[in-house]
Amino acid sequence: MWNPFVKKEMTAEQLWESGSRLLQANKPEHAIYMMERAYALEPSRLLGRLNLGAALFLVGKYPEAIEHLRYVLALEPQNTPALMNLAACLDALGKSDESIATLEKVVESRPDWKDAHFNLAVAYHKKDMDDKAVDALKAELRINPANRNAQDLLHKLSH
């Protein structure tokens, strides 16, 4: 299949980089095409696998995304972006307990990571664990007081 983003002579590194740029440009389908070609040439690149997992998540290919994210985490167990993306995939697949455990790992290891507490609060709220959700929202707002979504959810849960 012809793709205007691919030149036949592109190296794995060029393919990974092109895929990353396409992902940043919010073109996950094109990014996946590039990164899958790169993956075929160089399957061990961690950042590439992380970005491929993120792109697959964005297009709803959660099981495929999880495979790449777990690869990254096998080599870097505290890779926060991989953990955050893994939690989102697990949540999308209805595996809320696994998603919560993953997010708890993030906030334990990286307590100042923006949005981690918020994502954990949302996961808790989905499980009707609103006391824990409120605590997580307060933690998020200490780190990121401008997080409007956290403010709104805290207001909702507090009233």
- Given a contact cutoff of 8 angstroms between Cβ atoms, the answer to whether 50 and 79 are in contact is yes
Burial class (CB in 10 A: 0-12, 13-18, 19+), 92: middle
Backbone phi, psi, residue 86, to 5°: -60, -45
Residue among 108, 57, 59, 55 nearest 80 (CA): 108
pLDDT bin (cut points 50, 70, 90) of residue 159 is confident
Q: pLDDT tens-digit profile of 62-99?
A: 999 999 999 999 999 999 999 999 999 999 999 999 99
pLDDT bin (cut points 50, 70, 90) of residue 60 is very high
When the pLDDT of each residue in the chain is averaged and rounded to a whole number, the result is 94
Q: pLDDT tens-digit profile of 31-40?
A: 999 999 999 9
Q: How far apart are the first and last CA of the chain?
A: 55
